[in-house]
């Protein structure tokens, strides 16, 4: 946390400012209201992911974050030199992520925010790494249940919060089914921290 303290503080301040201009959003957005109230906008999981990627991938690695919300993880990763694309279908959050990016300059480097439904909006674009945090309560679960999961996996390395991928999976058995379905389409899963797993594409697949 110490290493990213300046970033974390500026991100908290920027989101607070954003909501101060949008009082109705503040009332409606319980998810981010709760995060800000506990000064937990950048979570422990975000910092673990950033630490892992920094150790494992060179600067300039391309990273996609589907369902990025206000884009805090993409912004954090851009601040350490990754080239990030954050995608979100919620227009207000998308606008908020652009506001945050401007407020966090010059701490953040290369990051683009795209508004739309992943994966269609990226038109098959492939990345070195994809990171998927909480994407509960969305069209995502419907999308994944109606399409082969392989279509949603757009990178050689994918970090997924297995508890909150589309629906809440509170039990290990539920998470194991998800992990199995991703391994079936050519990835090898290993636990990074808590419910976050790293899936690496097996060679030749
Ligand atoms: C619970 S929020 C969490 C946001 C962020 N991942 C975080 O952990 O702070 C889930 C976000 O995913 C977005 N989302 C869900 N499915 C999506 C999809 N298929 N394409 C783009 N955005 C999606 C929603 O609009 C929402 O902003």
Whether residue 188 is contained in a domain is answered as yes
Q: What is the mean pLDDT of the chain?
A: 91
Whether residue 108 is contained in a domain is answered as yes
Whether residue 6 is contained in a domain is answered as no
Whether residue 10 is contained in a domain is answered as no
Q: What is the spatial distance between Cα 19 and Cα 71, in angstroms, rounded to a whole number?
A: 15
Whether residue 186 is contained in a domain is answered as yes
The number of CA neighbours under 13 Å toward the Cβ of 72 is: 25
As for how many domains the chain has, the answer is 1
| Ligand 1 pocket residue status of 71, Cβ below 6 Å | no
The Cα-based distances of 149 to 27, 141, 171, 181 in angstroms read 35, 10, 20, 7
Helix (H) or strand (E) holding 144: helix 140-146
3-class SS of residue 131: strand
pLDDT score recorded for residue 203: 83
How are beta strands 187-193 and 127-132 bridged, if at all? Answer: unpaired
CATH number at residue 153: 3.40.50.150
| Ligand 1 pocket residue status of 86, Cβ below 6 Å | no
- Domain enclosing residue 131, as ranges: 43-201
Residue 67 vs residue 138, higher pLDDT: 67
Whether residue 51 is contained in a domain is answered as yes
CB contact at 8 A, 84 and 60: no
At 176, is the pLDDT very low, low, confident or very high (cuts 50, 70, 90)? Answer: very high
Give percent of the chain with pLDDT exceeding 70: 93
pLDDT score recorded for residue 150: 77
Q: What is the spatial distance between Cα 48 and Cα 133, in angstroms, rounded to a whole number?
A: 12
The number of CA neighbours under 13 Å toward the Cβ of 14 is: 24
Q: What is the spatial distance between Cα 26 and Cα 180, in angstroms, rounded to a whole number?
A: 38
Among 31, 38, 138, the mutation site with the greatest number of ligand 1 atoms within 8 A of its Cβ is 138
Distance 197 CA to ligand 1 centre (A): 18
pLDDT tens digits along 136-151 = 866 666 666 666 777 7
Distance 81 CA to ligand 1 centre (A): 23
pLDDT tens digits along 101-110 = 999 999 999 9
| Ligand 1 pocket residue status of 68, Cβ below 6 Å | yes
Residue 151 vs residue 126, higher pLDDT: 126
Among 15, 42, 67, the mutation site with the greatest number of ligand 1 atoms within 8 A of its Cβ is 67
Whether residue 149 is contained in a domain is answered as yes
Whether residue 8 is contained in a domain is answered as no
Among 75, 89, 119, the mutation site with the greatest number of ligand 1 atoms within 8 A of its Cβ is 89
């Amino acid at each position: 946390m110490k290493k990213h303290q300046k970033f974390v503080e500026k991100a908290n301040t920027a989101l607070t400012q954003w909501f101060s201009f949008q009082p109705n959003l503040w009332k409606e957005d319980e998810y981010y209201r709760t995060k800000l109230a506990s000064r937990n906008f950048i979570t422990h999981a975000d910092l673990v992911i950033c630490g892992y990627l920094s150790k494992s991938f060179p600067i300039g690695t391309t990273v996609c974050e589907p369902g990025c919300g206000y884009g805090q993880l993409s912004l954090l990763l851009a601040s350490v030199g990754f080239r990030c694309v954050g995608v979100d279908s919620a227009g207000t959050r998308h606008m908020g992520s652009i506001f945050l990016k401007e407020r966090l300059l010059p701490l953040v480097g290369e990051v683009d925010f795209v508004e739309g439904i992943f994966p269609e909006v990226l038109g098959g674009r492939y990345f070195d790494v994809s990171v998927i945090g909480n994407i509960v309560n969305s069209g995502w679960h419907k999308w994944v249940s109606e399409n082969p999961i392989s279509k949603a996996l757009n990178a050689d390395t994918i970090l997924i919060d297995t508890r909150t991928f589309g629906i809440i999976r509170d039990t290990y058995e539920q998470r194991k089914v998800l992990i199995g379905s991703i391994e079936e389409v050519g990835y090898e899963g290993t636990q990074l921290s808590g419910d976050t797993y790293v899936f690496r594409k097996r060679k030749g697949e």
